[in-house]
Structure 1
Amino acid sequence: MEPNMRFGIVERQSFPQRVLHWTELLDPTNLILSIEQIEKSRQILLTSEDAVRFDLKNERIQEAWKRSLATVHPDSSRLIPVAFRPAALLPFSMPLLFVSLVTTKTLKSMLLPQVSFYTYLTAFNMFNGNATYSRRRTESIMLGAGVIASSTFFGLVPRLRQVKSALLRRSLPALLVAHISGVNLVASRSLETIRGIEVMDKDGNVIGYSRKAGTKAVRETAASRVLLFGTSAFIPELFSLFIKQYKNLLPFPWTFWALKMSCTIFVMSLMVPVSFSIYPQIGQIQRGQLEEEIQSATEDTELFYNRGV
């Protein structure tokens, strides 16, 4: 069985434990690990009899788990590209989110930040989604392009309309970011709900492909994405409204933007591990919730699937 999948099945972590665990996996040093380091860690997990659980006193085993879980896809056993590993979400998407919410006057200056933000978000969702359903490269490219175009269009809507209320003008783009980020994930991973994803028993044996499990995986991840980007966009906007009341007291004009950027970094740094931890990465589903052909193929009452990130 793939070690990362085995970890998710064996380790039944509570929400606080998952948050602490994700803070370790989101360490930026996981972005600069060499292929040799990762392969060495994977070899330890595949050959060592002690590498059954994560919470061992053996620091070498713990480090091997962290490296594997932070860099390798649990479905395909392939390395996740550096720019789309979980640890890359904060440093890559935070500045894009910040710039996309800045009020500008020209269409060109509004368009580029929106395209950049939703391009990265779409690619991140697709690379960290479920990899067990059949798909072609051209199919993924066309789907991604359509998702980016539609997300960008809806992201520009509040910018193109004149809103008189200052509070609504500030909060509407943030609320829309939350909604679009959720829809973006549903759309970019829509094939999982159409073609189904692998469900397996506790021993890692694949029982079948389930559209219902795919729908559950996409729905849960979309909810976590709404929480992440909704909170990360909305709180800094409220903070900026408060700071603007005292803008004349700020020593330099750029201090306002520095304070808002700091608020965005702080909020998103807290929300990334929290949003990733709301649901386990390896999800559980009752046999009775699955298709009849899967129910008849096993007697296990609880099955597992990769929810993704």
Structure 2
Amino acid sequence: MAGEAAAFVPGHVTGFFSAHPDDDPRVAGSRGAGVTLSHGVTVRVRPAESTTVTLEGETIRVDPVERVLDALSVTATVDAETSLPLGAGFGVSGAMALGTALAANDAFERALSENELVTLAHGAEVQSGTGLGDVVAQAHGGVPIRLEPGAPGEGLLDGIPAQTRVEYVTFGELSTEDVLSGDTARLSEAGTRALSSLVERPTLDRFMLASRRFAREAGLLTDRVEEAIREVNAVDGEASMAMLGDSVFALGTGLSEAGYDPTVCQSHPAGARLLGDQTLPLESCEPSPPAPGRE
């Protein structure tokens, strides 16, 4: 019987990437690396006669979300809440697609596996032109490295085994669709070099260095982001551009020390998840009594 369900999906900041389009959305995607964030998107899904999508209480159209629901053959009310800025390089559309897939699967008892749901959400993002690698990274969590493009079964992920404080400042929006629909040859060449550098030494320091080089070599830096990166570097901090947005992110306290008033969060240690009954404290879970003869 259909009910209501909710999911949380971490935000995702991409430091660098190379684009790998394909007619099959399961195969299409990106190579690259990024950081998932403790700030994310909470998505609630409940059955309805027609589909409506809201973000922070305002009705909007999010094509990947509608594609996910169509693929599951359901109509629903989808309510999303987030503190992350939209269109600024934090993976909000991917998070909404993946959160909708997880929650709708539970609410409508579709009984699909995690990989099937990630594949569905990834394909919806690719077909909508709103992203190539956020969904698989958000399903993975941590500091994911996308070694091969595509959905589960096609792509390949690794990660940097680290957690970190993350600061970010947003100056405005950039259109992911406009960038991805244009000539991505220069961008992808820079992304390939960045990935090779990180795989050689998978550390946070190398990730940030590769990300800064990528932003410069790909020609994506905006004036405001470039200035912020320069100011963070001047105080011995680590900062780069959030792909694809007019935003800068830093690991540690670099933006704060450079005089900015950033939003602060942490890298997220795990990937997207359903939100169940949170009312039962762990302390109330008592061990089972010993089996007869085992005392």
Same fold (TM over 0.5): no
TM-score, scaled relative to structure 2: 0.28
- Give the number of the structure with larger relative contact order, counting CA–CA contacts within 8 Å between residues 6 or more apart: 2
Please state which structure has a larger fraction of its residues in strand: 2
Larger-Rg structure: 1
